[in-house]
């Protein structure tokens, strides 16, 4: 069977999470050696275990992407163990500043949003670019969100995810001549265990129903919807696509 990522080495950050796990499993099923990375070591090992039990190959490396030195160490470890890196999917992230009026923006939570979502992505791409330029090949996929278009009560999260889009386009312009593509994903609401747990079953169900009612395709996204799009962007099928943001939104906000 033709596999779309045979012999590729792929780093997935946030690999213990709902979307990151789906991406790691999907890439491994397509033949990639997947480096699963997350701040959550046990969750990351669980992802690796699932991946290996399904016949895939990979390893787990813990890293806190809010610390530059940990990102640098992660890339050094990959270079030592595997000698190359073909694809990077920067997924680690999340909203650190829950819905608030603009007057309520809290400096520490706003900074955490920028550090966790935007700066981590920039720093990971910086390390990836070093390796990929030497190789003359690379695929980078960054996790934005549909809120990159703006959201009336997620100010700093929207700013971070919008920043990822601007950074993605800038990097695509700069790295294209080295055979490196850089794209971003912008999902609407995705059903992940962390979300359901944080909201509680009842509030989650209200949110899910409300969104499903508004999205033209009549449901919220699954982690696999996002993983398949990441796979496409990392594969040769997307060889001539760069600097794009793909909305995985069921038609939300058209």
Ligand X SMILES: NC(=O)c1ccc[n+]([C@@H]2O[C@H](COP(=O)([O-])OP(=O)(O)OC[C@H]3O[C@@H](n4cnc5c(N)ncnc54)[C@H](O)[C@@H]3O)[C@@H](O)[C@H]2O)c1
Whole-number Å distance between alpha carbons of 218 and 214: 7
Distance CA 159, CA 167 (A): 12
Binding residue (CB under 6 A) for ligand X from 26, 33, 34, 91? 91
Asked if 221 and 191 count as a contact pair (C-beta separation under 8 A), the reply is yes
Which residue's beta carbon is nearest to the bound ligand X? 17
Which of 187, 222, 175, 231 shows the shortest CA–CA distance to 10?
231
Tokens 């209200």 belong to residue: 206
Give 126 or 133: the residue with its C-beta nearer to ligand X: 126
* Binding to ligand X, residues 92-121 (CB under 6 A): 92-94, 116
To the nearest whole angstrom, how small is the minimum distance from the Cβ of residue 192 to ligand X?
4
**157 given a catalytic annotation:** yes
Closer CB to ligand X, residue 65 or residue 234?
Answer: 65
Strand stretches in 86-239, DSSP E: 87-90, 138-143, 180-187
Beta carbon of residue 217, minimum distance to ligand X (angstroms, whole number): 15
Among 5, 11, 12, 14, binds ligand X (CB under 6 A): 14
Backbone angles phi, psi at 195, to 5 degrees: -65, -50
Q: Does 162 bind ligand X (CB under 6 A)?
A: no
Find the catalytic residue in 157, 165, 178, 215.
157
Q: How many Cβ atoms sit within 10 Å of the Cβ of residue 77?
A: 15
**Minimum CB distance to ligand X, residue 100 (Å):** 17
Could you count the other beta carbons within 10 Å of the beta carbon of residue 121? 29
What is the distance of C-alpha 17 from the center of its chain? 10
The region of 24-32, 64-72, 134-142, 210-218 touching ligand X under the rule CB under 6 A is 64-72
31 — phi, psi (to 5°)? Answer: 100, 0
Interactions with ligand X, residue window 142-161 (CB under 6 A): 143, 145
Residue among 192, 230, 234, 252 that touches ligand X (CB under 6 A): 192
Residue range at the interface with ligand X (CB under 6 A); choices 26-34, 49-57, 58-66, 72-80:
58-66
Residue 101 has φ and ψ, to the nearest 5°, of -70, 155
Q: Rule CB under 6 A: is residue 243 a binding residue for ligand X?
A: no
Our finding on whether 163 is near ligand X (CB under 6 A) is no
The verdict on 187 binding ligand X (CB under 6 A) reads yes
| Alpha-carbon torsion (191, 193, 198, 200), positive or negative | positive
Binding-site ranges for ligand X (CB under 6 A): 14, 16-20, 38-40, 43, 64-66, 91-94, 116, 143, 145, 187, 189-190, 192, 194-195
User: Catalytic residue numbers?
Assistant: 157
């Amino acid at each position: 069977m033709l596999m779309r990522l045979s012999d590729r080495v792929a780093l997935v950050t946030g690999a213990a999470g709902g979307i990151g796990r789906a991406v790691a499993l999907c890439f491994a099923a397509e033949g990639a050696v997947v480096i699963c990375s997350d701040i959550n070591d046990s969750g990351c090992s669980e992802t690796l275990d699932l991946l290996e039990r399904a016949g895939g190959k990979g390893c787990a490396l813990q890293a806190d992407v809010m610390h530059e030195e940990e990102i640098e160490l992660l890339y050094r470890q990959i270079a030592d163990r595997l000698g190359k890196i073909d694809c990077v999917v920067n997924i680690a992230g999340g909203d650190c500043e829950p819905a608030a009026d603009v007057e309520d923006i809290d400096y520490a939570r706003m900074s955490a949003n920028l550090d966790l979502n935007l700066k981590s992505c920039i720093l990971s791409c910086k390390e990836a670019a070093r390796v990929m330029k030497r190789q003359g090949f690379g695929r980078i996929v960054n996790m934005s969100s549909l809120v990159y278009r703006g959201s009336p009560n997620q100010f700093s999260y929207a700013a971070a995810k919008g920043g990822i889009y601007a950074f993605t386009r800038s990097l695509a312009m700069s790295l294209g001549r080295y055979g490196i593509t850089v794209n971003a994903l912008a999902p609407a609401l995705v059903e992940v265990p962390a979300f359901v747990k944080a909201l509680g079953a009842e509030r989650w169900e209200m949110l899910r129903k409300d969104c499903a009612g508004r999205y033209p395709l009549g449901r919220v996204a699954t982690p696999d919807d996002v993983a398949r799009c990441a796979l496409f962007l990392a594969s040769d099928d997307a060889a001539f696509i760069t600097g794009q943001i793909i909305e995985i939104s069921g038609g939300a906000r058209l």
